[in-house]
Structures are given as structure tokens and as C-alpha cells.
Amino acid sequence: MSAPASPDAPGGLRSALNWFHTWFGLFVGGLLFVIFWTGTLAVFDREIDRWMMPATRAPSAAAAAVTPDRLLQVAQRLAPDARGWTITLPDARTPVAHVRAEPTGGAAISRYVDPATLRVLPDQGTLGGERFFYPYHFRLNSGTLGLALCALAAVVMMALCLSGVVIHRRILIDFFTLRIARKPQRTTLDLHNISGVLALPFHLMIAFTGVAIFTYTYLPSAQMIVFAGDPAAVTGGWFSRPAAGTPGGPPVSLDRVREEAARHWRGDRPEVFRVVHPGDANAYVEVQRPSARTISYRNGSRMWFDGSSGALLAATPDTATTRAYAFLYGIHAIQFDHWTLRWLYFLSGLAGCVLIATGLLFWFQSRSKRHSKLGMRGSRLVEAAAIGLTTGLLIATLAFLIANRLLPLGLDERAALEVRAFHAVWIAAALHALWRGHAAWAEQAWAIAAGAVAAVLLNAATTADALPLAMARGLWPVAGVDLVLIAGAAIAARAALRLRRAGRGGPAAPAAASAMAG
């Protein structure tokens, strides 16, 4: 997926790296696009949640009044005989509280709570962005197998970035070069170079941190060596104890526990509380350190308190190893509150999508005529796969949003139906690409434009939060999703028009890459 090695380059190393960059980029490119696209959406996963869960569009001002003890009362009413409750306070990005109860012998109950009225909101019937796009980008909805594939893709991505730098001798010059030429292959390669160099630090960082935080998946011995030098990070990690089977004293105030944890964490007030074995003599409370004020992802930093006396039972160690791991995880997962960086992550993720898509396009363009003359069908299959994995994925994403607005609330397995719609439309788009060939680029670009507009209109019709009203009410997460959809529709429509005018193999073929990233 790169230009051939420069004639004056040393033949050995650069030629081998060129081969690696081309063929590994080809075979892993589709998987990387899926990871980058869903990971880019996960940057704004909670904002997508607000769009997909209309009942949770609460004013953020009401969130400050709710306390852990008040939410505990809600949890006790929701499932009085539960063996445990998990309470999550509202924050800047999620204006509603969340309560999860684990009834004895039954399925877990998960509900959002209006922080102003303490009203339990109905089941939203969707996974939304936080529980669908975020885990999809590192598990592919396939459990352990998906996790292993994503870990492998992270290793290959880092190698592709480094090999791309080596084989492009004119990399800095190419960064300032974009030739809209008659030969689409030249334009595609320029787009590939620009999108690669523009966000190269981000691509290297995201690939490296992806490799680092998932070493336990493909190289568990590496983590054993690292943690062997810091035994406290392993031996002091977690706390649990079984139920005693005898009644305990009055439950400790969660407000008090919160203040104790804040003193220990130098002002960081926990927002997640887990009450285990309530009413038992061995009851305890687990709290998580928030990550909003720091780059480090501190979900693994926890404290445990006795459920009756409030005495500190244990705390995860704060060692050099745990701090380093939390920083690597945090810079990858971007759970901190910094809107400028969040938008930079989002735009850099889109640049990564363009980089991968144009790499696939360049491979096809450079080989299609030769393969056609030889009667080979390999390039046709690669192009169909490229279309299905790029524009097809965008269409599937829009189908996920549209299904969310069309399926009635309260429908059995509503969340599962949204996921099935996503995968069914994705498969249909891939089959369409195989059937229509090169013409599928323009046709699927039109489908993206139509789907994005339909999603915006359906949101307005089903929630009464049309874009102007959402902006007037200060519902910027909802308005932001609508604005991105409108921008994507405009980019896709423009690309479709250029592709139609250009015809088969015309110079506008790279416009499809813009539609993919829009």
C-alpha cells in the first residue's frame, strides 16, 4: 500500500520493508479500518449514548445535587434482596446516575436514574456507544478471539507506521504534496502520504499503547517479567471476602466513605461505589478512583471499606509499575475531560481511516489493469472486500443508529436487534460490493448520505429534539452527533457526485476515501 522503493534506496532493507508494508497492510488493512473506525466513534461514546438514549438527556446542573446515599436508597428499592449494588454518580459527560443490582439467582438489573427526581428511568434497550463501539474496537464482538486479533493488529500497525517512514524517503516533501491528477493512483498515494504524516505521532502512540496494554493477550511472559520487578503491584492488587452468613450492623454511609477516599486520593472524589454482601457481617464497599482530572486511567485504582464500620480494609498499591500502566492505558482510552484533546483524537482517528482506506485503494488501482489483462480476479475480490470493510462499515453504523430510532422502546431484545441490524446491513453492503464491483463506491456513498440524513430526521421526529431545539436547550452531545451526521452526509454526497462524473477508474476515485472518513 505504498509507493515502490526509491531507485537510489539500499536494495536490501528498504525493499524488504516495502514488501512488508504492502502485503501486511493489504491483509490487515480491513481489520485495522474496523478498529480505527469504531475506536474513533468511541472517543465520543457517551455523547452517542445521549443520542441513542433520549431519556438520559438530563440537564447537567441537576447532577451536582445527588449523593451516593440517596442513590443507595434507589438501589435498595430497585432490588432489596440483591447480593450487591453498583452505583455510578453523574459526571460532566453523563448527566444521569446509574444503578446496577445483582439479584440473588437472577439476571442483573441495570437502570439510569434522574439525579433531580431520583426517578428510575425505563430500560433504554440499547448498548449505545459505550457498550457497543468502545468494546467493539478491541474485541470485535467476538470475545477472546477478537481480542487476540486486535492485539495482533496493533503490533502490525506499529510495524506498518515504522516501515512507512523508512520506505518513504521524501516523506516530509510528500506531506506538502497533493496532486489532483488525471491518474487516480497518484492522487490516492498523495492522500495516503498526507494522512499518514499528518497524524503520524498519533498513529504511533495509539499503536504502541495498544500493544503495551494488551501484552497479556499475546505475550503474557512479558508482563510477568515487568511485574516481577514490582511485586507490590501484584500482591496488593485486589480485595474480596465471602459472605459470613450472619447479619451485620447498620450500613456505613457512602457519603462518609467518599470523603475518606478523597482524603486518601488527595481530593479525587470517587464516583463509582460497589456494595457487596449488603446486610451481612462481611459486607464491604469498593470505590474506584476517577480519571477525569488526569491522563492516567485510574479505574484499576480502588479502595475497600468495611460495610458497617467504614474502616479501610485494603487499597491497590500506587507503585511505579501501576502508574506507568495507568498512563499508557489512559493515553489510549482518553477517559479524561479535555475537549480539545478529545476532538484531536477524533480527527486523528479519521485521518487513520483515510490512511488505511487510501492504502487499500492504491493497491487496487496499481494492479487492476494488469490483473484484468491476465484474466485474474484477485483485484476484483480485493476491491469488493475494501468496499465492504470501509463504506460498508459506515452504512452498517448508520443502520445501527436508524434501528435505534425505529425500534419501539420496551421491545424484547431491542439491544440485540440493533446489533443484528448492524451486522446484517454490513453483510448486505459487502455482497452489494461483490455484485456491483467498482460502481458500488458511488452507490454506497449515496447510501451513506441518505442514511446520515435519515438518522438526523428520525431523531427529530421521535424525540422532539430537532437540531435547533437541541442547541437551544444546551443538549450539545445530541446536537454534536446530528452535526457530524450532516457533515458526513455532505461529504458522502459530494464524493458520490464526483465518482459518478468520473466514471469507472476516473480521477475522483480517491473521493471515496473522504466519504469513508466523513
Check residue 214 and give its pLDDT. 80
Residue 372 scores a pLDDT above 90: no
* Domain assignments of the chain as residue spans, ordered by start: 11-53+135-215+338-517, 54-123
State the Cα–Cα distance between residues 360 and 366, nearest whole angstrom.
Answer: 10
Alpha helices by DSSP H, listed for 68-199, are 68-78, 134-139, 143-167, 171-175, 184-198
Name the percent of the chain lying above pLDDT 90.
53
pLDDT value of position 85: 95
Angle between helices 200-213 and 143-167 (to 10 degrees): 140
Cα separation of 214 and 191, whole Å? 31
Cα Rg of the chain, angstroms: 25
Lowest mean per-residue pLDDT among 183-187, 262-266, 283-287, 348-352: 183-187
Burial class (CB in 10 A: 0-12, 13-18, 19+), 182: exposed
Under 8 Å between Cβ of 269 and 258: yes
415: its cell numbers: 439491544
Three-class secondary structure of residue 285 per DSSP: strand
- Per-residue pLDDT for 99 more than 70? yes
Q: Which residues contact 335 (CB under 8 A, 6 or more apart)?
A: 291, 292, 297, 299
What does the alpha-carbon distance between residue 187 and residue 508 come to, in Å, rounded to a whole number? 9
**pLDDT value of position 511:** 46
**Structure-model confidence comparison of residues 256 and 221, the more confident one:** 256
Summarize pLDDT for 205-249 with one digit per residue, the tens: 999 999 888 877 767 666 666 666 666 655 556 889 999 999 988
Instruction: Quote the cell numbers at residue 287.
Output: 470505590
Highest mean pLDDT among 176-190, 268-282, 493-507: 268-282
The larger pLDDT score, comparing residue 41 to residue 364, is at 41
**Looking at residues 389-403, what average pLDDT do you find?**
97
